[in-house]
């Protein structure tokens, strides 16, 4: 059985469409359709059927899917083992982080790394989605909560302080009340985030005027006068047209909660020289002087 045919089947089954599968594999939609049809013809039975919501596995397809996923894991493990033995400081390292962290924190660090090691190409992918390290969707991932799942090495990289921002000249918020204030905050999918909960506690009567899952967008809306926003200080302090609100010292109002940043990679890449050199450069540039040792942990998608 041709492993490339199995990858086509997996991609269509996961995406539910030929277009989504084509984007995942970097091929054209007609090519995906032809390859899937030819694969099913060789097997003599359909594995997927088109429904109202796209392609769904047939009964046989459901049974085959489990085998295909095990084949994929073995193939990816083989690729990781080969990649993990690379000592040369050349080749690709794929890095993932949130939008604002990639722009304001990682980009300058990666630029300085590139000047030191011109043979290494760093691909920075900024996305709110948590990339899967086992599938090598990314080699090195930065995120604001610890990793869970098998086979990941992680460490706490740094702490982020947050503040409440508004345009210059705005009256200070009435802490504990917030009546008459407009807020720019995260969308409802992030209602449990610490800064969203903090706003509800310290400004319970404020009105949510705008929402966005993108911190850069929140900062831009805040600077345009749409309302106050809780932002990481590494973003807010550098954004033109924003000033932090002062939280009274020693009062009943606590400052916005901070967050830790964690970095992780698959344990099969422990000996990948270019990844380890990049991680060391990031840690040396960003991390506090005293840091916990690298620890094995578990990664979630």
CATH number at residue 220: 3.40.190
Mean pLDDT over 1-23 rounds to 87
Residue with more model confidence, 166 or 53: 166
Q: CA-CA distance, 201 to 231, in Å (whole number)?
A: 17
User: Residues 17-39: pLDDT tens digits?
Assistant: 988 888 888 888 888 888 898 88
Q: Are residues 113 and 172 in the same domain?
A: no
H helix or E strand, kind and range, residue 273: helix 273-286
Out of 84, 101, 116, a domain closes at 84
Residue 158 near residue 260 (C-beta atoms within 8 A): yes
Average confidence (pLDDT) over 107-116: 94
Evaluate whether residue 106 is within a structural domain: yes
List CB contacts of 267: < 8 A, sequence separation 6 or more.
151, 152, 153, 296
Tell me whether strands 48-51 and 140-143 are parallel, antiparallel or unpaired.
unpaired
The token duo for 17 is 């469409």
Q: Are 140 and 157 in contact (CB under 8 A)?
A: no
Does residue 252 sit within a domain? Answer: no
pLDDT per residue as tens digits for the range 81-93: 655 455 557 889 9
Radius of gyration, alpha carbons of the chain: 23
Length of the chain: 301
Asked whether the beta carbons of 37 and 46 are under 8 A apart, the reply is no
* Placement of tokens 């030929």 in the chain: 18
Q: What is the per-residue pLDDT across 256-276, written as a single tens digit (0 to 9) for each?
A: 999 999 999 988 888 888 999
Can you give the residue range of the structural domain that contains 109?
A: 91-160+259-297
**Which residue has 């924190």 as its token pair?**
105
289 shares its domain with 263: yes
Q: Specify whether 147 is located in the same domain as 120.
A: yes
């Amino acid at each position: 059985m041709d492993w490339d045919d199995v990858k086509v089947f997996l991609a269509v089954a996961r995406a539910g469409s030929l277009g989504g599968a084509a984007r995942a594999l970097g091929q054209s939609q007609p090519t995906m359709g032809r390859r899937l049809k030819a694969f099913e013809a060789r097997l003599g039975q359909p594995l997927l059927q088109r429904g109202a919501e796209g392609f769904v596995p047939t009964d046989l397809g459901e049974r085959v899917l489990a085998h295909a996923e095990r084949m994929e894991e073995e193939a990816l493990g083989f690729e990781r083992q080969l990649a993990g033995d690379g000592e040369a400081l050349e080749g690709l390292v794929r890095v993932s982080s949130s939008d604002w962290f990639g722009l304001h924190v990682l980009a300058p660090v990666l630029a300085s790394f590139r000047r030191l090691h011109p043979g290494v190409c760093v691909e920075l992918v900024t996305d709110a989605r948590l990339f899967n390290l086992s599938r090598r969707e990314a080699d090195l991932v930065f995120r604001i909560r610890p990793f869970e799942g098998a086979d990941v090495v992680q460490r706490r990289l740094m702490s982020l302080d947050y503040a409440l921002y508004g345009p210059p000249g705005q009256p200070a918020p009435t802490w504990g009340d917030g009546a008459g204030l407009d807020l720019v905050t995260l969308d409802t999918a992030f209602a449990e985030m610490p800064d969203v909960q903090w706003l509800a506690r310290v400004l319970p009567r404020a009105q949510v005027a705008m929402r966005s899952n993108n911190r850069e967008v929140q900062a831009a809306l805040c600077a345009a006068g749409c309302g106050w926003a809780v932002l990481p200080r590494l973003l807010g302090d550098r954004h033109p047209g924003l000033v932090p609100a002062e939280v009274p010292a020693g009062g009943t109002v606590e400052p916005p909660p901070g967050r830790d940043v964690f970095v992780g990679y698959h344990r099969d890449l422990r000996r990948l020289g270019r990844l380890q050199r990049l991680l060391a450069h990031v840690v040396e540039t960003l991390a506090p002087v005293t840091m916990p040792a690298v620890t094995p942990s578990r990664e979630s998608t």
